[in-house]
Amino acid sequence: MSKRPIRSIKGTQDILPDQSFRWQALESIIRDTMDKYNYHEIRTPAFENTALFLHSVGEETDIVSKEMYSWEDQGGENLTLKPELTAPVARSFIQNNLGGLNPINKLYYIDSLFRRERPQKGRYRQFHQFGIEAFGSEFPEIDVEVIALAMSTFKNLELNGLTLELNSIGSKDCRDNFRKAIKEYLKPNFDKLSETSQTRFNKNPLRILDTKSPDEKRLLKDGPKISDYWTSDDKNHFNEVCELLDKINIKFELSPNLVRGLDYYTRTTFEVTSNLLGAQNAICGGGRYDGLVEQLGGKPTPGIGFAAGMERLLLADQRNFEPTKSQIYIVGLGDSVRSLIVNLAEELRKNNFRTNFDVLRRSIKSQMRDANKLDAQYVIIIGEEELSKNIATIKDLSSGDQKEIPFESILNHIKSLPLK
């Protein structure tokens, strides 16, 4: 009886070579863009103390209430696979005293995250984000730089059909007042609210605005707006952000009910959606989190950042490009040529030619078939006869032309070819 092979975990994906080149291309555009804005990469561990997320993301969020992969390890510590990156990066910022070393820290990451959600297109249990965190400035210029960096990365990816939605959820005073107002407004409709919204009503009413229910959205449309509760500083800050965005030609829509799902956000919040994706159309979410560093025990430090979903970016990516192909394939026949071929392949590779040769000791015919399958541009054929004459036959697979070249000139000849 054959054994049933073990399968991967639901909601996780293998990224196979026919897709991994697209990931690499995406990553390289991200890194290039980060470089232009002078953001530097930070890498944090895959797991953290569970308390980190409880104290930052907040117990009332979907992430903490139902999506975290948490466990107690053999030493009795409560650990969690990171479900988001802002808290780990803030933890590291504090722990490594980055704020003490530089007044401004501009960090980026490309990383794996873990959330136990219901898997569907564009929604996985292990997924990837790239994102940035800029610590140290409370001024609108950095809000705009962060948004510009997100939009510029998407532009470099040639993504179309994007919408940038923008809002400000104000400072603490503003939200305290708004919280009272929204509770007042929703109170008569409390019974009609979903269970989630009822819980949020009591614990964190602002998050009701995050609802996905159309009925509740309709109800909220006529309700109080956060903007009515902005302090004059909040208002000035937001106006300046909008003016600067106009100045650099970044189009945006005001979205008065846009709040971020996580508790630590303040003032500017934004989201980028794509009309090329179905239900999971959010590509990127971000905002300001001026209270987070202090909340985690660091010196009060303003911060702003965003995170963008890599799987969704790749789903929206319409570019039609191909992985790099092999250039040279060495076809060999006979025991006596084997060491020569291994040696020649190494020499070509040292000279930066993408080179393959047959490692299955197949017939010439199937080696030629393999060379075609791998899209090689030229084959170098060395059989016993060629060996005895110290020559190799070099064949152009697209034209079929072939030439005999003395062994010692192979490298020079290959260097003279119009290889792609």
**Chain residues that interact with ligand ATP, rule: CB under 6 A:** 84, 115, 117, 122-124, 127, 129, 261, 280, 282-285, 307-309, 311-312
Q: Cβ(287)–Cβ(269) under 8 Å?
A: yes
Q: How far apart are CA 21 and CA 6, in angstroms?
A: 26
State which residue, 58 or 309, has the beta carbon closest to ligand ATP.
309
Q: How far apart are CA 393 and CA 88, in angstroms?
A: 58
State which residue, 211 or 327, has the beta carbon closest to ligand ATP.
211
Tokens representing residue 288 in the block: 């300001």
Q: How far, CA to CA in Å, does 255 sit from each of 36, 163, 169, 183? A: 29, 11, 11, 20
The position carrying tokens 């005999």 is 404
State which residue, 115 or 395, has the beta carbon closest to ligand ATP.
115
State which residue, 149 or 414, has the beta carbon closest to ligand ATP.
149
153: nearest Cα among 247, 255, 39: 39
State which residue, 290 or 311, has the beta carbon closest to ligand ATP.
311
For 74, phi then psi, to 5°, come to: -60, -20
Give the CB-side neighbour count of residue 252, counting CA atoms within 13 A. 30
At residue 240's C-alpha, the angle toward residues 31 and 301, to 5°, is 60
Buried b (16+ CB within 10 A) or exposed e, 70-80: eeeeeeeeebb
Shortest spacing between CB 307 and ligand ATP, in angstroms? 4
Shortest spacing between CB 260 and ligand ATP, in angstroms? 7
Q: What residue number has its CB nearest to ligand ATP?
A: 309
Shortest spacing between CB 365 and ligand ATP, in angstroms? 46
Shortest spacing between CB 128 and ligand ATP, in angstroms? 8
Shortest spacing between CB 84 and ligand ATP, in angstroms? 6
Q: How many CB atoms lie within 10 A of CB 3?
A: 5
State which residue, 48 or 358, has the beta carbon closest to ligand ATP.
48
Shortest spacing between CB 104 and ligand ATP, in angstroms? 24
State which residue, 13 or 152, has the beta carbon closest to ligand ATP.
13
**What is the signed CA dihedral for 214, 216, 222, 225, rounded to 10 degrees?**
-110
Shortest spacing between CB 56 and ligand ATP, in angstroms? 13
State which residue, 181 or 282, has the beta carbon closest to ligand ATP.
282
State which residue, 308 or 381, has the beta carbon closest to ligand ATP.
308
Shortest spacing between CB 331 and ligand ATP, in angstroms? 45
Shortest spacing between CB 14 and ligand ATP, in angstroms? 16
State which residue, 53 or 124, has the beta carbon closest to ligand ATP.
124
Shortest spacing between CB 309 and ligand ATP, in angstroms? 2
